[in-house]
Structure 1
Amino acid sequence: MAGYFRTAILLAGMTALFMGVGYLLGGSGGMMIAFAVALAMNAFSYWNSDKVVLRMYNAREVDARTAPEFYSMIRDLAANADLPMPKVYIIENPQPNAFATGRNPQNAAVAATTGILQSLSREELAGVMAHELAHVKHHDTLIMTITATMAGAISMLANFALFFGGSRNNPLGLVGTILMMILAPLAAMLVQMAISRSREYEADRIGAEICGQPLWLASALGKIAGAAKRIPNQAAERNPATAHMFIINPLHGERMDSLFSTHPATENRVARLREMAAGMGAGMGAATPAGRSGPWGGGPDPSAGSGSVPPAGSRPGGSRSGGSRSGGSSGPARGPWG
């Protein structure tokens, strides 16, 4: 219920901001039009915002037949988290990243880029996807996806400001309209950032509990952050209002844990995860077994089950189920698409 309450508060705030922009552009008439548009957008966002975001990134749904190893990893993690099986998507994008979406756990989806599937170990990938399932478990996905939709709409509305700058009902004049074009998207962005950063810390913690190994996620975050600075994500650059949904900011220009960052500094997140690992005691080990070049390196060992995810019901900090995969398969490595 707390998640739904936060969502209601956010929607009210974003609607008020939307109406404020409408008033500044067109007076009381503009405010009423903006209010009607906001109501329609809220209803649409609740039911369809996840589909919109997935289409933005040309995400392709996969299943046990088309991506058996990745799909079974998500299934095991969902069981650990006591969640229904979400829909699973793959995004053709070289930047390693991932996000979750959906209005509730029963209608959730997780998405991973081809870049993350190709660059992380199986354990690191499990840590990342456990983080995304933590967002699902705490109903963060609804508020994150709706925020992306509303913030994008407010930015779009503000971009139309110059077309209405000469309206007699506009009390701002041209200079005020230009300032509003800058400040309205900034205000929406600040709301976005405020809800995102604290949520990422909590999802890191819960995700580490779901997969049982905080250092898996810590190792993954370092790799993803480094790659995200080198590899552009053009789809995210075209849709910056969705940046807060990803596990690491996909946009270029993020530098520090500041007011204007959609995510906490990666160093801070890694430090917290390492502290968590130390507090959980023995069995934390290295995040990635030596010699593992990628998530499917060496081919899957049938005796290891569906991956290195601890079985449902295992205690955080316990033994890593299937983590050693001694011997491996002598055949060629299989990719995440089977």
Structure 2
Amino acid sequence: MNALRTTILLAGMTALFMGVGYLIGGTGGMAIAFLFALGTNAFAYWNSDKMVLSMQGAKEIDPRSAPELYQMTQRLADNAGLPMPKLYLIETDQPNAFATGRSPEKGVVAVSSGLVKYLDSREVAAVIAHELAHIKNRDTLTMTVTATLAGAISMLAQFGLFFGGGRDNSNPLGVFGTIAMVILAPIAAMLVQMAVSRTREYEADKDGAAICGDPTALASALEKISAIGKRTVNVAAERAPAMAHMYISNPLSGARMDNLFSTHPNVENRIRALMDMARVSGGGGGQTPRSRVNPVEANVRPGQSWRTPGTRPRGDDGGAAGPWG
């Protein structure tokens, strides 16, 4: 059902794109914008992951620099039936993560240094499982295409200012109608893009909880990420706000309400859905049974350092944490 809704939304955006092109750009403007959109889509399909990682300042990590995190991700990928994704680190104190890649074979998971600083091992595993769910469901490609179409619609609306509402076609809307379309078309495209994003987040929460076998851990992670995110700034995300919908939680300051202009569902709604899932799977009491395949055997603890090779920072329980590069 979720895939059907997303397909309908994408089809609606394509129809909006074609309709706006006819009404305010004429057939010539529509054709030019459509060709540009095709080229942009092709470029985004092959290079979107590199673009996003570069814009967020992410750096690749490997088994030598972060063995515990790498082992955890490998176990989760095995649970999900996915190949091991590439891992990247974003240097920001804001706990967050996102996934990219045009296919499961090209999957990438990027986590922030704040994520492993403030969250415990169960919560980190749950966040990674959420991102793996995006990769498995090919959400990253869906969102890239949606964002590209939204940009094409905005561009086409701007064409209307130059083409005069379609000089090679009779425009049924007239001059004022054309001006209204120039203003409203990009807003409509943005609403569709955000609706697609929020739809996919609920599904990734559900599938991610199944992958890690711990819905309550993902609920706890979302609660921490939301609370800490409100008082920390993700500089890279602020510089590229169009990428905000890719994160597990909105990385931008403000705009955290569950309304038409939010890129993410309300955190409380997501937590409630996860706790309901935990009650069903655990037989009540808000608890969930331990996963048959426990992906969180690596000793990943809060407060670990990502910057000092060979050090063993102490976790909250006083024990030594593993080395981080």
* TM-score range normalised by the length of the shorter chain: 0.7 to 0.9
Matching residue of 1:280: 281
1:220 aligns with 221
Q: Quick check: 12-21 or 107-116, which moved more? A: 12-21
- Of 208-217 and 253-262, the range deviating more from structure 2: 253-262
Q: What is residue 310 of structure 1 aligned with on the other side?
A: none
The one-letter amino acid of 1:144's match is M
Question: Which residue pairs with 1:328 in the alignment?
Answer: 319
Could you state the TM-score of these two structures normalised by the residue count of structure 1? 0.76
Could you tell me how far apart the structure 2 residues matched to 1:269 and 1:248 are?
11
Paired position in structure 2 for 1:262: 263
Deviation at 1:226, TM superposition (A): 1.5
Determine the structure 1 residue equivalent to 2:203: 202
Deviations 1:87-141 (A, max 9, x none): 1111122322111111211111111122222221121111101011111112222
1:204 partner letter: D
Question: Runs of 5+ in structure 1 lacking a partner?
Answer: 287-291, 302-323
Deviation (angstroms), 1:275: 1.8
Counterpart position of 1:130: 129
Residue pair 2:86, 2:109 contacting (<8 A) in 1 also: yes
1:294 counterpart = 2:290 = no
Shift of 1:191: 1.5
C-alpha distance in 1 between matches for 2:257 and 2:179 = 28
The aligned counterpart of 1:239 is 240
Distance 2:229 2:181 in 1: 32
Identity %: 61
Q: Distance in 2 between matches of 1:157 and 1:231?
A: 36
1:203/1:295 CA distance change after superposition, 3 Å: farther
- The Cα offsets for residues 211-242 of structure 1, whole Å up to 9 and x where unpaired, read as 11111111110011122222233433343332
Aligned to 2:297: none
Task: State the Cα deviation string for residues 217-271 of structure 1 (Å, max 9, x = none).
Answer: 1111001112222223343334333222211122233243233322221111111
Shift of residue 280, structure 1, vs aligned partner: 2.4
Q: CA RMSD in A?
A: 3.5
Change in Cα spacing, 1:37 to 1:18, as seen in structure 2 (3 Å) is: farther
CA contact (8 A) 1:104 1:136 kept: yes
What code does the residue aligned with 2:117 have?
Q
Amino acid paired to 2:189: A
- 1:38 partnered with 2:37: yes
C-alpha distance in structure 1 between counterparts of 2:21 and 2:84, whole Å: 41
1:72–1:132 Cα change, 3 Å: same
Aligned to 1:191: 192
Unaligned runs of 5+ in 2: 291-299, 306-310
Q: Partners in 2 of 1:119 and 1:132 — Cα distance?
A: 18
SS at match of 1:263: coil
Of 143-152 and 167-176, more deviation after overlay is shown by 167-176
Can you list the C-alpha shifts for 1:147-201, whole angstroms capped at 9, x where unaligned?
Answer: 2333344445546665666985695777555533432221222221222223222
Q: Secondary structure at the match of 2:60?
A: strand
Matches of 1:257 and 1:11, distance apart in 2: 21
CA drift at 1:326: 8.4
Call closer, same or farther: CA 1:167–1:152 in 2, change over 3 Å: closer
Look up the match of 1:67.
66
Matched, 1:145 2:144: yes
| Partner SS, residue 230 of structure 1 | coil
Note if contact 2:215-2:274 (Cα within 8 Å) is conserved in structure 1.
yes
